[in-house]
Structure formats: C-alpha cells, structure tokens
Amino acid sequence: MKWTKEEKLKMVLEYKKSGFTPIVDGCSKVTMYKLVLAWAKVYEVYGESGLEHRSRHWTYEDKANAVQRVLDGESYHEVAHSLGMSDKTRVTAWHRKYLELGWDGLKLDGRGRKRKMGNKPIKPSESKSQAEEIVELRKRLEYLEAENAYLKKLAALVQQRKAQEQKKK
C-alpha cells in the first residue's frame, strides 16, 4: 500500500499526540505500528520533507558510509532511519553485498534487466565447424536414447514387481 505524504504526516501527528496508531483496513495493527513508528523517526530527523516519496540514486560513498556504520555496531534500522529510509532492506542489501564482494561490490550498479541465458553472444573461439557439431549431436542423441531405454526397462521391472506382489496377496 502506498501512502501519500499527507497521509503519513496525519498518522505521525496523531501518533505523537495520542500515542496510538490508526487502524487501517488491509494492514495489521503490528504492521501499522511499525510503519508509523518508522515514519515518526524519519519525521523527527528530517521533518515533513522526510515523508515525501523520492527515488534517490545512492552513491558509492553513501553506501560505504552506511556499511561502515553497521560494521561499527549501529543497527540496520538506525542507519536506515538516519538516511531518511523507512525500511532497513536497502542497508541490509548493501551490507550483504559488502560481505560477499568487498568494498568494490558497492560500486556495482545492479539496476537494469539481467541478460537471459539464450541471448549470450557466441565468441569466435567457441564456434565449431559443422562436422564437429554433428559429431557432438550424434553422441548426445546416442546418450539420450540409451537413457530412454534404461528408464523404460526400469519402469517395466517396477510394474512387474507390483504385479507379482498383487498375485501374492
């Protein structure tokens, strides 16, 4: 569910005034409480502008500073809220990427559509002559035919054993 800046502000102010979170259809009490609490923390640090929707491109330095703060002992939530995020997911992903790939992993830009396997260009060194390809395909066909014959024989044996067991009963 997407919330507008005005809706968030209204809920935060109501929470600060009365200490209660509103009940909204489609959200559990716990979920609403966590959302409003996160918005309240962002509101305290950044004011109303912190509740606005914005798509920000995080630089390497931003990511590195956030990960360093996590390494220094701050929680994901604290770091995320101080950066104006209402959710820790992005900071967690940066930390995981740092653990897997090191500091250079934070420089990678994971945006965009990933390549499909079938669209992989054929390198000139990988290209084969038609004769070599035909030999490979024949070997593959021979292997698959043998595998198929084995599976048929196995199925026949299983069926034969079941028939024998039923005769015994």
Q: For residue 55, what pLDDT is reported? A: 64
Q: Is 162 a residue whose pLDDT tops 70?
A: yes
Average pLDDT over residues 158-169: 89
Tell me the C-alpha to C-alpha distance, in Å, between residue 167 and each of 10, 91, 154, 156, 162. 77, 66, 20, 17, 9
Q: Is 25 a residue whose pLDDT tops 80?
A: no
Closest CA to 76 of 140, 67, 84: 67
Q: For residue 124, what pLDDT is reported? A: 53
The pTM for the full model equals: 0.45
Q: For residue 1, what pLDDT is reported? A: 62
Helices (H), the chain: 5-18, 29-46, 60-71, 76-82, 89-101, 130-168
Q: For residue 123, what pLDDT is reported? A: 57
Q: For residue 39, what pLDDT is reported? A: 81
Q: What is the Cα–Cα distance from 88 to 79, expressed in whole angstroms? A: 8
Number of Cβ within a 10 Å radius of residue 88: 18
Taking a C-beta distance cutoff of 8 angstroms, is the pair 80, 62 a contact? no
Architecture of the domain spanning 57-109: Orthogonal Bundle (1.10)
Most confident of 1-5, 6-10, 89-93, 151-155: 151-155
